[in-house]
Amino acid sequence: MDCGRDTLAKLLAGVQTFQQDVYPGNAELFESLAHSQAPSTLFITCADSRISPSLITQTQPGELFIVRNVGNLVPAYGEMLGGVSSAIEYAVAVLKVKNIIICGHSNCGAMGALMNLNDPKLDGLPTVRSWMRNGEAARATLGELKAEDAGPAQIRDLTENNVLLQLAHLRTHPAVARALAQDSLTLQGWYYDIPKGQVSVLDEQSRKSRPVSEVLSEFGA
């Protein structure tokens, strides 16, 4: 066993390439970011390694304030005051982000766990099980459906319902409620299909997903 030496060397070689080949062409951008940040958007997504927020939104350093965790969950205010709630408070009250996006994704392991939180397989993962309780109301929307009967359509429903639930939790945070009341903040839910490279926008009213092109046309773009 190489204890990760090969992959660590690959990361360090990547840093070297960044320093030697990428940084010089972007030095001005990095220098402009030396003393402050003014991101437009708080982007909340899963810790899953297959999601690259900057790649799928084609954004540069300084544009997205990113919070990642297992299952892209946002505990309701007061439930679990910790990393997620403090990042939200800071992003909204101090950085004054204009948008908060919650992005769920296909083949999410956390959604598989949420499908059946009583699964004995989770007995060895007490922290994950407890964390996933923040998504339990999304599981409840599927009714009595047994985990073993859940196909891709049901898993996608669960993933989308979870994003919608987390948007609702977001509104319980005082900084978010205040910014929404002042009309200075927009919330949006996304679903990212990894193999297709497609992002869908979730409509909170209809609970349906819409292609980006359709939503974008409403911006007059």
Annotated catalytic sites, by residue? Answer: 46, 48, 50, 105, 108
Query: How many Å apart are CA 171 and CA 215, to the nearest integer?
Result: 22
**28 CB-side CA count, 13 A:** 1
Torsions phi, psi of 125, nearest 5? -125, 60
Tokens matching residue 113: 């766990």
State the nearest-atom distance from the C-beta of 34 to Zn ion, in Å.
33
Query: Is 123 part of any known ligand binding site?
Result: no
Query: Is 103 part of any known ligand binding site?
Result: no
Which one of 64, 100, 108, 179 is in contact with Zn ion (CB under 5 A)? 108
State whether residue 44 is helix, strand or coil.
Answer: strand
State the nearest-atom distance from the C-beta of 109 to Zn ion, in Å.
6
Residues from 109 through 138 that contact Zn ion (CB under 5 A) = 110
* Cβ 75 vs Cβ 133: under 8 Å: no
Q: How far is CA 113 from the centre of its chain?
A: 17
DSSP bridge pairs for 192:
105, 199
Q: Does 46 bind Zn ion (CB under 5 A)?
A: yes
> Which residue lies nearer to Zn ion by CB, 77 or 191?
191
Q: Does 48 bind Zn ion (CB under 5 A)?
A: yes
Query: Is 3 part of any known ligand binding site?
Result: no
State the nearest-atom distance from the C-beta of 108 to Zn ion, in Å.
3
> Which residue lies nearer to Zn ion by CB, 24 or 197?
197
The residue ranges that bind Zn ion (CB under 5 A) are: 46, 48, 108, 110
